[in-house]
Amino acid sequence: MPDPVYLDHAASTPCDPRVVEAMLPYFTGRCANPASRQHRAGREAATAVEEARVAVARCLGAASPTEIVFTSGATEANNLALKGAAAALAPHGRQLVTQATEHPSVLEPLRRLAAEGFPLTVVGVAPDGRVRLDELARALGSGAALVSVMLANNETGVVQPVVEIARMAHAAGALVHCDAAQAVGKVEVDLASLGVDLLTLSAHKLYGPKGVGALCIRRRQPPVRLRPLLDGGGQEGGLRSGTVNVPGVVGLACALKLAVAELPVEPARLAALRNRLEAALLDRLGGVTVNGGEPRLPGTSNLSFAAVDGQGLLAALSDLSLSTGAASSSGRPEPTEVLCAMGVPRALAAASLRFSQGRFTTEDEVDHAVERVVEEVTRLRETRRRR
């Protein structure tokens, strides 16, 4: 049986062979701990880490490589940014603000902080998925200390107006954190232009390895102060103790450089694939809704199919690797927080699929996906009508 067509790049991307090649030496011959600077092998490993830090900083427009802290991924980076900043805030209890369609790795740390005494305001979003700026302005007027808004949504690809949000937050005296894991490598991300204080990313979302990411921390005056989550050897400027994942950070830097180099052409190619898929499904099937307005990431589509069970449709499409918009820890289909926050009716939210194309996706694969979705949606609707 051939491998399924992979259309779940928003969940994770395949590691680019060029990234694997760059990492391989650091698994074997160059295996030293970068903290072991007493010998040449350790110094070479430390040099590789610092070269990766320089490359990441340059790709993101950071003011200095010291603004980059390597982590195990975006979840850890988000936790360090939010919990670390909250712990450093004084007095305890100042307002935290976010918006309703954030990733769980942002919402759950903030909920934990709320349970520990920090007031939390969750701002709503419009039907197009973009944050309601009037609600945000009211929240900022309540003495907000920290605002967290993602750059692009993981389910719909909707891009938030982060530049405007950062201006509003800074005018109110608040720090700004931005989860950019979905956006980095897909659209241009420049720290100076965005104006945020803290930004997170993950390698496996941009054709790098799993298990490595980064937190970008503004070092300009006044510097952002964080309390570390981990205590130990004081690696990563004292903010992330533990042996640095040398192959991982080398892979992250390589993947990011490749993605930035392809930005002049790759987003347009992915947008064409996304539009090809959406146009064909909208033309050939009735009752199809695109969830999320523009601007969106170029390769992400979240579609609802009326009169179809999303889990049943996903199960029928075993030759496609997709994500459903309905899942819960109990195993029973439940609409996601993202779609519900956008006001999508529960029945449609439970009948949604996310299609996310990537670097190696072809037109033939998109066309195959269209044929299969049309076939199975038609079959499932006909079965339902017969009951």
Query: Which of 104, 54, 42 has its CA nearest to residue 79?
Result: 104
What does the pLDDT average to over 276-298?
Answer: 97
* Residues 255 and 272 reside in one and the same domain: no
Q: Is residue 252 part of a domain?
A: yes
Side-chain-facing half-sphere of 234: CA atoms under 13 Å: 0
Judgement on whether residues 257 and 376 belong to the same structural domain of the protein: no
**344 and 246 within one domain:** no
**In the chain, what percentage of residues exceed pLDDT 70?**
96
Same-domain pairing of 257 and 269 = no
Domain boundary among 261, 285, 300: 261
Say if residues 108 and 98 touch (Cβ distance below 8 Å): no
Burial of 108 (0-12, 13-18, 19+ CB in 10 A): middle
Same domain, 209 and 277: no
- What's the CATH code of the domain at 293? 3.90.1150.10
Residues 295 and 203 in one domain: no
pLDDT(335) > 90: no
Residue 222's pLDDT is: 81
Q: What mean pLDDT, rounded, does the chain reach? A: 94
pLDDT at 267 over 90: yes
Q: Would you say residue 2 lies in a domain?
A: no
Q: What is the rounded (10 degree) CA torsion for 98, 102, 103, 108?
A: 40
Which has the minimum average pLDDT: 9-13, 258-262, 310-314? 310-314
Local confidence band at 1 (pLDDT 50, 70, 90 cut-offs): low
- 277 and 244, same structural domain? no
Residue 120 lies in a domain: yes
The CATH number for 227's domain is 3.40.640.10
Whether residue 268 sits in one domain with residue 137: no
For 383, phi then psi, to 5°, come to -60, -40
Task: Give long-range contacts, CB 8 A cutoff, 24+ apart: 303-307.
Answer: 303/278, 303/352, 303/353, 303/354, 303/355, 304/339, 304/344, 304/348, 304/349, 304/351, 304/352, 305/351, 305/352, 305/353, 305/373, 305/377, 306/347, 306/348, 306/351, 307/351, 307/381, 307/384
241 plus 279 within the same structural domain = no
d(CA 151, CA 158): 8
Task: Tell me whether residue 1 is in a domain.
Answer: no
Model confidence pLDDT, tens digit, residues 91-100: 555 899 999 9
Same-domain status, 251 and 268: no
Report how many helices (DSSP H) and strands (DSSP E) the chain contains, helices first: 13, 13
Domain assignment present for residue 253? The answer is yes
Is the pTM higher than 0.85? The answer reads yes
Q: What is the mean pLDDT of residues 130-136?
A: 98
pLDDT at 90 exceeding the cut of 90: no
Q: What is the mean pLDDT of residues 68-95?
A: 89
147, 160 Cβ separation under 8 angstroms? no
Q: Tell me, what's the pLDDT at 303? A: 97
CA distances from residue 52 to 18, 48, 61, 253 in whole angstroms, order as listed:
15, 6, 14, 5
Q: How far apart are CA 336 and CA 327, in angstroms?
A: 7
Among 235-239, 277-281, 373-377, the range scoring the smallest mean pLDDT is 235-239
Structure confidence at residue 386 (pLDDT): 84
Co-location of 180 and 63 in the same domain: yes
Looking at the domain assignment, is residue 185 inside a domain?
Answer: yes
Mean predicted confidence (pLDDT) in 112-136? 96
Closest by CA to 99, choosing from 75, 130, 77, 128, is 130
The count of structural domains within the chain is 2
The answer to the question of residue 5 being in a domain is no
* Amino acid at position 286, single letter: G
Residue at a domain's end among 261, 295, 311: 261
Pick from 236, 261, 286: which residue ends a domain? 261
Domain that holds residue 65: 17-261
In a domain, 174, yes or no: yes
For residue 99, which of 42, 139, 50 has the smallest C-alpha distance? 139
- 212/269 same-domain check: no
